[in-house]
Structure 1
Amino acid sequence: MNSSSPKDNKDKAPQPTNDAQPATAAPPSTASESDSGKAEKGPSSQQPSEQPVVPVPPQLVMYPTWSTGLFECCDDIPTLLITCFAPCVTFGQVAEMVDRGQNSCGLYAMLHAGILYLTGCGCLLSAYYRIKMTQLYNLPNDPLINILVHLICEPCALCQEYRELQARGFNMKLGVGWRNQSLEIQQTGGLMVAPKVPGGMTR
């Protein structure tokens, strides 16, 4: 009968090795703390310098407008008299400039007079050229209003268009026509016009 002594049992017992040593908890890393600390200190250390805010003044909006009013006909009495008794003449002068000399003033005047004599609606032709003029020079362009202006008071409308072309540098005297206009007017078509200064200089 074999009996093992306590001494032999002690020798056979497994000895703990270095690999089986109990793992010890690693100390908490301080990298995250340092990063968070930097993140917290960053905004405070890099505060933007306070600069005074300068308000931007509102920009002036220039609305298109006629150089003269509709009822300022008395500023040019000769043109007013011609337009009252022979509107076809003033219309012919305006239409020739608007069409850049495609046809003569006499042809436009005869066309207006013929429509006025046959139908009595020569104002519709002149209203069409008023609409064409407003589109060309970026003037207030409301077709209904432009037609009503010529239906109600065609002489005032024609005189206003006549004065507008004069303000843009056209020589509107009878017999001058498009071909005898200055070279600058023929090149630009009167698109450039000096702004109208309200009021005058007072002492």
Structure 2
Amino acid sequence: MNSSSPNDNKTDKTPQPTNEAQPVTGAPSSNPSAASEPDSSKGEAGQSNQPVVMVPPQQAIIPTWSTGLFECFDDIPTLLITAFAPCVTFGQIAEMVDRGQNSCGLYAMLHAGILYFTGCGCMLSAYYRIKMSQIYKLPNDPLINILVHLLCEPCALCQEYRELQARGFNMQLGVGWRNQTPEIQQTGGVTLPPKVPGGMNR
């Protein structure tokens, strides 16, 4: 009885370490943290190899006139014509804004008639200032554009006249829309983006 009990105890104790050793040998494969660490390091290495392109923030372009409202004395002849006959300057501007739909003389007579009978010729010229602002992406606040013509129409007309000149229009009397350059007649003075050569396609 005594000899059999120690043998049984030995046989019971010997397989226990072998059973405990098996999960120890498989511990690295069953440990989730150990398996995830090399994967994360590979991911970081892969991300570090890719170049990082920094895109600069786009800045909004603030629309502005090419000349100031009170720079009338830069063009004395136009200032004198506009001071004594604003309908003439308005006719030149309206013909260019409407791309020659009507002649300068017709616009001038319309402005003079409204000015003579109602005294509100500035409302017609203010409408064309708003229209011009929309075409050329200039400061487009209808209230301000109307107030500018109400308070100082000669200055407003001279500014619009100079703006069209800056965009390539020939604003001399008698030239009109029909005698403008083909480029002006095609684009209407609207600034176009630069042309990219055929081999530089993006």
Normalising by structure 1, what TM-score? 0.75
Pick closer, same or farther for the CA change 1:51–1:167 going to 2, 3 Å.
Answer: same
Other-structure match for 2:37: 40
Other-structure match for 1:168: 167
Once the 2 structures are TM-superposed, how far is the Cα of residue 42 of structure 1 from its aligned partner? Answer: 3.3
Deviation sequence 1:20-73 (CA, Å, 0-9, x none): xxxx99666465641423223433466434999887655544211100000000
1:1-203 aligned at under 5 Å gives the runs: 29=23, 31=26, 33-36=28-31, 37-44=34-41, 47-48=44-45, 49=48, 59-192=58-191
Distance 2:105 2:152 in 1: 23
What amino acid is aligned across from residue 152 of structure 2 in structure 1? C
Distance 1:85 1:161 in 2: 17
What amino acid is aligned across from residue 142 of structure 2 in structure 1? P
Structure with max Cα Rg: 1
What amino acid is aligned across from residue 179 of structure 1 in structure 2? R
- Asked whether the 8 Å contact 1:170–1:190 carries over to 2, the reply is yes
Deviation sequence 1:132-186 (CA, Å, 0-9, x none): 0000000000000000000000000000000000000000000000000000000
Provide the secondary structure at the position in 1 that maps to 2:180. Answer: coil
Question: Which stretch has the larger CA shift, 38-47 or 163-172?
Answer: 38-47
Other-structure match for 1:17: none
5+ residue gaps, structure 1: 1-23, 195-203
- Asked whether the 8 Å contact 1:79–1:159 carries over to 2, the reply is yes
Distance 2:115 2:179 in 1: 29
What amino acid is aligned across from residue 119 of structure 1 in structure 2? T
Aligned length in residues: 171
Pick closer, same or farther for the CA change 1:71–1:42 going to 2, 3 Å.
Answer: same
What amino acid is aligned across from residue 67 of structure 2 in structure 1? T
Cα RMSD over matched residues? 2.7
What amino acid is aligned across from residue 109 of structure 1 in structure 2? A
Pick closer, same or farther for the CA change 1:72–1:44 going to 2, 3 Å.
Answer: same
5+ residue gaps, structure 2: 1-14, 194-202
Distance 2:42 2:123 in 1: 76
Distance 1:58 1:38 in 2: 41
